[in-house]
Amino acid sequence: MKVVITGGTGFLGLRLARKILERRTLTGASGQQEPVEQLILFDAVTPAERPAGLDDRVTITSGDVADEKTIMGMVNGASLSVFHLASVVSAGAEQDFDLALEVNLDGGLNLLEACRAAPGLPRFVFTSSLAVFGGAAMPAEVGDDTKITPQNTYGMTKVINELLVNDYTRKGFLDGRGARLPTTVIRPGKPNKAASSFASGVFREPLSGNTCNLPVRRDTKMAIGGYRGVVDGMIALHEADNAAIGDDRTVNFPSIATDVEGMIAALKRVASDRKLGEIIDAPDPVIQSICEAWPSATRFDRATALGIKGAPDLDIMVRAYIEDYLDA
């Protein structure tokens, strides 16, 4: 079978690719486990050097997800699965509305149409976000059945894609599944334009001996998940029984509720033997307002029923990052 990962050379895309290569098989169009013979990592910008841990089944290609011809030429095959991670992220979408529509909406529709044109019944896993929730009526804890009223452009584009996945699945064009992700930590490398980027930076920068400029108050509440669990969860969602998912194809992924102060406390507990960089309060009203519009806690009963494991505690997330990216 052929697997395509958009955003494939990003943090989660590469971790997902390596996990799929390690598994060697996924459920294919036959409904049975099939060997992954081709894995395409598609991204807007690709690294100059080939990332480690990728074998000869992997092709890395760059391009524009909003270019219909490019997508139709890549997303095809008799047994096909697509993991759609590519997106203009939260703060970036607020800054450039037109780009968010082009990449997040046109790009998503291009992928869905390519899957529709492919023979068989492709599996399509879409990464949504808790940013789909918001508004004055949003409860402190959101569930899969909480009304969706996003208060940012990024969340709006995710909602539209969720609905498209529902309808393309209902029409029998593909077998779509959506992963509504919490803020995922700890991301290595440089900060990106996600409003939640600080949630990784508050761990990553001090662990590297660098100063972290914290743009939100320390009492800011968040729902977060660890990257290992998120990647395992995406594969579990891909493998889940179609009928068990039902007509609402997107599920809340497991998360834990915390505040920034709790995150800092976990960092200091786990890394008590390391010299940490300083954390400086540097309020950014725009980032604060975006984060306050998101839910601070989630229920994820449907994900649990599908075999997607719960999020670990903060200490485990910090240890995982140290093991994977600092001590490796």
Active site residues: 154
Q: Where do runs of H (alpha helix) occur along 130-284?
A: 153-170, 198-207, 227-239, 242-245, 260-270
CB burial of 116-145 (b: ≥16 within 10 Å; e: otherwise) equals eebebbbbbbbbbbbbbbbeeebeeebeee
Write the single-letter amino acid at 70. T
- Rg (C-alpha) for the chain, rounded Å, is 19
Residue with tokens 């594969």: 235
CB distance 276 to 207 below 8 Å? yes
| Rounded Cα–Cα distance for residues 100 and 67 (Å) | 14
Coil/strand/helix, residue 226: strand
CA distances from 37 to 29, 81, 86, 115, 207 (A): 14, 12, 22, 18, 39
CA distances from 235 to 20, 81, 171 (A): 8, 11, 24
| Rounded Cα–Cα distance for residues 140 and 129 (Å) | 16
Q: Kind of pairing, strands 25-27 and 33-35?
A: antiparallel
| Rounded Cα–Cα distance for residues 37 and 127 (Å) | 23
